[in-house]
Chain A
């Protein structure tokens, strides 16, 4: 299985959108402030629907909010 982790730019995007608060972002997409904080810190992966909603709030494509950082595993010897 491919290994990797999800990173995000929510903090940056909030800053670029007039220092939008976590609570305000959460309110606009139906999540709590704590959930936004957990997503931002990479401790909770949101549902696809929530991810699209976040991107919609910032008016950017999904790929600009969330990125998949693939980890390259060492190739196995034959």
Chain B
């Protein structure tokens, strides 16, 4: 498995492991439906983001120390093609989500429901991005 694939796996796992429970929690909690400014969900989001950063930081450090310089070559044309494809897919997810949140949700929801929906679509777009990267490397691997 290449260094870039490992990084993509790390990013995907960190995202699922942190934002997964976050959305499960805010989806259940009555606080998420309260109008702004209700800062409890913000604190929860900050905590989750910090945990994600910690997982990513430790993971990057572990992978970097475990991979010699020659296993971490600069991006080549295949890496760039995979990156381009994954960003392209994520863009459509993000656009769809933002249209739903920005154009339709204001008529049916308020406060943190809208904020969390926006965060959800950003996270979903990022998850699609890393999933496409991982899948592309897997498909082209032996």
Main secondary structure of the interface of A (DSSP, over half): loop
Interface string of B75-93 (1 = CB under 8 A from A): 0111100000000000000
Residue among A31, A35, A37, A43 facing the most chain B CB atoms (10 A cut-off): A35
Complexed CA–CA distance, A37 and B142 (Å): 8
| Residues A43 and B2 in contact in the complex (CB < 8 Å), given A35-B77, A50-B77 | no
Task: Name A55-75 residues within 8 Å CB distance of B.
Answer: none
Main secondary structure of the interface of B (DSSP, over half): helix
Q: How many residues of A contact B (CB 8 A)?
A: 14
Interface string of A20-62 (1 = CB under 8 A from B): 0000001000111011011001011011001000000000000
Q: List 18 A-B contacts (CB under 8 A).
A: A31-B76, A31-B78, A32-B2, A32-B78, A34-B140, A34-B141, A35-B76, A35-B77, A35-B78, A38-B140, A38-B141, A41-B140, A43-B139, A43-B140, A44-B140, A46-B77, A47-B77, A50-B77
